[in-house]
Structure 1
Amino acid sequence: MPSTIVHAGFALLLAAGLWKGTLDRRALAVLLVIVVVPEADTIAGLWMDGAHRALLHNLTIPIVAGLLLYWDTCHRERSWLRDRWGGWGVQVAWVGLFVHVFAHMLLDYAHLEGINVFYPVVDQFVRLEGELYYSTTEGFVQTFVEFPTDDVEGTAMDVGATGTTADTHVDNPVEPTAAVEGDPDEPVERLFPVADSGWQFHLVLSGLFVLLARRFQDRRDEQ
């Protein structure tokens, strides 16, 4: 699965592209915290079944946060966030929201058992899995969402559902699958991943490179 370092690397790429003006260290620190915080639900997994990839890995939180942020910054006569932190705070909040969704939620959505998308409103893990291509014989083909067909009775739309918190466990260093399912007397290997594949390592390096390039550009503009 994507490690926290991979999420951070992707977050750096998004922040560099979305941030307007100088990307200062304080803003960068806040954005990285926003990216890391969802992993705290691994600890909750010690007391709650299926907490990881559900409790803080869902789209319910950013949807609610986005609506509140939009209301506060665009519709209120006086924005609490703008009065408290100025334009800097508003930009951090919006960029942080997009970084949270695209650099963490949707990245995990495409790996292992996916995420519990609308938890706790709907308890259902969903994984983004499939392909999209054009074939000279089949035309456009997509398998991310499988629609019901008339020739097969009992079929329903398949959006990649994998399970619920009651029967889904996503391996993590705090609560490895081996510890959950194996012999409690056997030693358990806890893996702390950095990059599970070449593209993940490339994403980390790209994020660091873009951050350094952005810092050099910001300093040049300030001179």
Structure 2
Amino acid sequence: MPSTVVHAGFALLLAAGLLKGAYDRRTLAILLVVVTLPEADTLVGPWMDGAHRALLHNLTIPILAGIVVYWDTCYRERSWLRERFGGGGIRVAWVVLFVHVFAHILLDYAHLEGINVFYPVYDRFFRLEGELLVSTADGVIQTFVEFETNPETGEQTADVGAVGTTADTHVANPVELSEDPEPDDPILLPIAERGWELYLALTGLFVLIARRLQNRDSE
């Protein structure tokens, strides 16, 4: 699975494109804390079945957070966020929320058993798996969502990558390895298990250094 280093590298890349004029140390510190926070659900694993990739790896939390930010900034007579941090603080809040979803939650959605998308409202893991291509023989082919028809009842169902629930789904992690560890189980400090992961992490670090040097030259 993508390590915390990979998530952080991807977050720095997204932030570089979205935080124009606010790519400072304080903002980046907040961003990296929020992006890496979901990994804390591994610590609950020994006491809660399926906690990793469910408790903090879901879309329920960012959806609720987005509703709160929108309500505070658009409907309240006096916005707490605007009064405390100004208009720039509101932009940072939305960027941090966006990066949290795309640099961590949805990145894990495409690996191993995926994530428990709407936990605890709906306890079901989903993973993004399939392919989308254009074939000279079969035209457009996509297998991310597959439809099946029951030959006996004629009922049509859609397979969107459902895996299991917290009761029967375990995503191996450094705190909880698999019951029968295999050579590719996570080690204590995973950094990059694939070439593209190392590439992404190093690119994020390069962008961070480049932006800092650019800001220094402009001062």
TM-score, L = length of structure 2: 0.92
Equivalent position SS for 2:148: coil
2:81 corresponds to = 81
Amino acid at match of 1:214: R
Which consecutive unaligned segments of at least 5 residues does structure 2 have? none
Contact 1:6/1:204 (8 A) holds in 2: yes
Residue correspondence of structure 1 range 58-207 to structure 2 within 5 A: 58-149=58-149, 156-178=157-179, 181=180, 190-207=187-204
1:185 corresponds to = none
Q: Deviations over 1:178-220 (max 9, x none)?
A: 3xx57xxxxx984421001000000001101111111122223
Shift of 1:135: 1.1
Equivalent position SS for 1:196: coil
Contact 1:14/1:99 (8 A) holds in 2: yes
How far apart, CA to CA, are the structure 2 residues paired with 1:58 and 1:22?
Answer: 27
Q: Deviations over 1:12-47 (max 9, x none)?
A: 001111102041101110000001110010011111
2:212 corresponds to = 215
Could you tell me the percent identity over the aligned residues? 69
TM-score, L = length of structure 1: 0.90
How far apart, CA to CA, are the structure 2 residues paired with 1:150 and 1:189?
Answer: 39
Equivalent position SS for 2:157: coil
**Which is richer in strand?**
2
Q: Deviations over 1:124-146 (max 9, x none)?
A: 00000000011122111110011
Amino acid at match of 1:67: I
Answer with 211-220 or 106-115: which moved more.
211-220
Q: Deviations over 1:72-100 (max 9, x none)?
A: 12232221111122233222211110111
Equivalent pairs counted in the alignment come to 215
Which consecutive unaligned segments of at least 5 residues does structure 1 have? 183-187
Contact 1:22/1:218 (8 A) holds in 2: no
After superposition, the CA RMSD in angstroms is 1.9
Contact 2:173/2:186 (8 A) holds in 1: no
1:25 corresponds to = 25
Answer with 75-84 or 128-137: which moved more.
75-84
1:15 corresponds to = 15
Answer with 143-152 or 66-75: which moved more.
143-152
Q: Deviations over 1:34-68 (max 9, x none)?
A: 01110010011111000000000000101111111
Amino acid at match of 2:197: Q
